[in-house]
């Protein structure tokens, strides 16, 4: 990966790869769960949190050595032990359950999850002997005939716990890599006639992420999976290949998602919404029948039914919009509540404010909420009309039904029903333009 970050912490669909694997085993009811950590193990342990116990592999001496580090967590455990890689984010719970069913039905000591590949690969080959035995030959140890085998090991297994404990103690490192191979346990179980295999229907599930290219492939496959799920639930994607939807996002039926839309985090989009395109929405909630126009960005915001945003609007954390609110082009809202039916259609900044219902905020209006040391609140009542190019210098409150004349600076509270304005005398100098041009041209010739 050429990264200072542990491989399993690189995100796919907004979550670290290790989280996807933990999700899969959680849905299978696995308990207890242990994660073997090595490089950047403190960060991996922090990311895993309470979801699993973490044990350290101080030296990396192979897959068998890695699994052996979990022996303290499995002491006295009687049952089936699943072994999976943390860098295989596309593994499905249904596949793990199938592996488990096959293992139990065949009364196996070990069951291997395999897949078929086209052409050469670095995967270990699954070799089926004529007498019914099964063994796995690592690519580095494979001969010419073995390299031609297309059935390969994915690295996912189900073991009988007692057999696993005994066999790990007997492992040696007599191989080309000088490592303890977990694959040697398959041959040990096979000698007892109790090794089995299953082959994946979809080999993309076990794509191991070993490079940035692999990470991009995993992301593309996960996005295809997520977007197909939402289309099956009644959501339209105008260009599925350009959309991005996080695993935790939710989209209501009959919504339409345009090209270049990115839905991050825990975003929730209600039914019958339209997101036109090139929008980035993170950890935000939109009600039903909202329209989010081109280029809109929203983070940590909530908008009620029928809201219209954009084009090129920005909602910052703490923005809360009532029903039918219009936030137009190049309007920014931060940490503010805006009441139902209110509009700010052009070029405005609303920060740290409480705005009532049916308010109209004219173009160029700003709430001056910061004095260089602290943020202050602006309160705007119901049915207030604010003219263009107005500055509201917080802390300040406007009552209900206030009219603010265009170009005003409001720094004191205003009573209900009042007109507030700054008296600015208009001055005109007739013929000034012609005189100015003559002076300017004469100055230019003088140069």
Cα 381 to Cα 426: distance, rounded to the nearest angstrom: 31
46 and 183, same domain (yes or no): yes
Q: Is residue 241 part of a domain?
A: yes
pLDDT number for residue 120: 62
Do 92 and 47 have their domain in common? yes
Cα–Cα distance, 378 to 69 (Å, whole number)? 59
Determine, yes or no, domain membership for 1. Answer: no
- Domain assignment of residue 216, yes or no: no
Token look-up 């196996």 returns 108
* pLDDT reported for residue 365: 98
Do 44 and 156 share a structural domain? yes
**Stretch (H or E) spanning 228:** helix 212-232
232 vs 377: CA distance, rounded Å: 45
Same domain for 274 and 199: no
Answer yes or no: is 228 within a domain. Answer: no
Contact (CB, 8 A) for 378 and 390: no
367 falls within a domain? yes
What distance in Å separates the CA atoms of residue 233 and residue 421, rounded to the nearest whole number? 54
Same domain, 157 and 266: no
Domain endpoint, select from 299, 334, 369: 334
pLDDT tens, position by position, 82-124: 999 999 999 999 999 999 999 999 999 999 999 988 876 788 8
Same structural domain, 86 and 48: yes
- Looking at the structure, tell me whether residues 319 and 389 fall in a common domain: no
Asked if residues 416 and 400 have their Cβ atoms less than 8 Å apart, the reply is yes
**pLDDT value at residue 119:** 72
Non-local (6+) Cβ contacts of 368 within 8 A are: 391, 392, 393, 394
Please report the sign of the dihedral spanned by the C-alpha atoms of residue 145, residue 150, residue 156, residue 162. negative
pTM score? 0.89
Q: Is 65 among the catalytic positions?
A: no
- pLDDT tens digits, one per residue of 366-376: 999 999 999 99
Co-location of 245 and 376 in the same domain? no
Query: What's the domain count of the chain?
Result: 3
Instruction: Give the 3-state DSSP-derived string for 392-426, with helices as H, strands as E and coil as C.
Output: EECCEEECCCCEECCCCEECCCECCCCEECCCCCC
Let me know whether 359 and 275 are in one domain: no
DSSP string over 330-385? T-EEES-EE-TT-EEEES-EEESEEE-TT-EE-TT-EEE-B-SS-B--EEE-TT-E
373 and 356 Cβ atoms separated by less than 8 Å:
no
Q: Is residue 222 part of a domain?
A: no
Same domain, 288 and 147: no
Which CATH number covers residue 178? 3.90.550.10
Query: Are residues 364 and 383 in contact, defined by beta-carbon separation less than 8 angstroms?
Result: no
CATH label of the domain that carries residue 263: 2.160.10.10
Instruction: Point out the catalytic residue in the list 65, 128, 346, 376.
Output: 346
Residue 429 located in a structural domain:
yes
Which of 309, 334, 359 is the C-terminal boundary of a domain?
334
8 A C-beta contact, residue 422 and residue 409: yes
Containing structural domain, residue 431: 347-447
Nearest to 114 by CA among 129, 92, 136: 136
Q: Are 36 and 179 in a shared domain?
A: yes
- Do 73 and 184 share a domain, yes or no? yes
Consecutive 10-residue averages of pLDDT for the chain (447 residues): 95 97 96 94 96 93 92 91 96 96 95 86 85 83 82 93 93 81 90 92 89 97 98 98 97 98 98 98 98 98 98 98 98 98 97 98 97 96 98 98 97 97 90 93 84
> CB burial class (10 A; 0-12, 13-18, 19+) of residue 45?
middle
314 located within any domain: yes
């Amino acid at each position: 990966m050429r990264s200072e970050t542990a491989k399993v912490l690189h995100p796919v669909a907004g979550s670290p790869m290790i989280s996807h694997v933990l999700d899969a085993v959680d849905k299978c009811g696995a308990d207890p769960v242990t994660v073997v950590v090595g490089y950047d193990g403190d960060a991996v342990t922090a990311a895993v949190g309470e979801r699993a116990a973490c044990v350290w592999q101080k030296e990396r001496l192979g897959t068998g050595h890695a699994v052996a580090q979990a022996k303290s967590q499995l002491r006295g455990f009687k049952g089936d032990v699943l072994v999976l890689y943390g860098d295989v984010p596309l593994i499905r719970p249904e596949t793990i359950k199938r592996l488990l069913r096959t293992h139990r039905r065949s009364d196996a000591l070990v069951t291997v999850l395999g897949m078929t590949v086209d052409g050469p690969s670095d995967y270990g080959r699954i070799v089926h002997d004529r007498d019914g035995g099964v063994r796995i030959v690592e690519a580095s140890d494979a001969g010419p005939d073995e390299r031609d085998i297309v059935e390969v090991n994915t690295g996912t297994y189900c073991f009988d716990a007692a057999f696993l404990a005994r066999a790990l103690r007997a492992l040696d490192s007599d191989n080309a890599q000088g490592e303890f191979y977990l694959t040697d346990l398959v041959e040990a179980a096979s000698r007892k006639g109790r090794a089995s295999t299953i082959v994946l229907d979809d080999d993309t599930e076990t794509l191991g992420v070993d490079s940035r290219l692999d990470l991009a492939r995993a992301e593309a496959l996960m996005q295809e999976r997520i977007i197909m799920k939402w289309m099956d639930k009644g959501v339209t994607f105008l260009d599925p290949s350009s959309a991005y939807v996080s695993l935790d996002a939710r989209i209501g039926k009959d919504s339409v998602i345009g090209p270049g839309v990115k839905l991050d985090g825990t975003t929730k989009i209600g039914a019958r919404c339209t997101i036109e395109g090139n929008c980035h929405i993170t950890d935000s909630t939109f009600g039903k029948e909202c329209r989010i126009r081109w280029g809109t960005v929203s983070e940590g915001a909530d908008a009620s039914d029928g809201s219209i945003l954009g084009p090129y609007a920005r909602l910052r954390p703490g923005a809360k919009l009532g029903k039918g609110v219009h936030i137009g082009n190049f309007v920014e809202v931060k940490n503010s509540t805006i009441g139902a039916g209110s509009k700010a259609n052009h070029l405005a900044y609303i920060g740290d404010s409480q705005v009532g219902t049916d308010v109209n905020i004219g173009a160029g209006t700003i709430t001056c909420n910061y004095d260089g040391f602290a943020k202050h609140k602006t309160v705007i009542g119901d049915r207030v009309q604010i003219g263009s190019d107005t500055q509201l210098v917080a802390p300040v409150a406007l009552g209900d039904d206030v009219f603010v004349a265009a170009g005003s600076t409001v720094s004191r509270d205003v009573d209900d029903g009042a007109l507030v304005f700054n008296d600015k005398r208009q001055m005109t100098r007739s013929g000034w333009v012609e005189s100015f041009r003559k002076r300017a041209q004469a100055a230019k010739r003088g140069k």
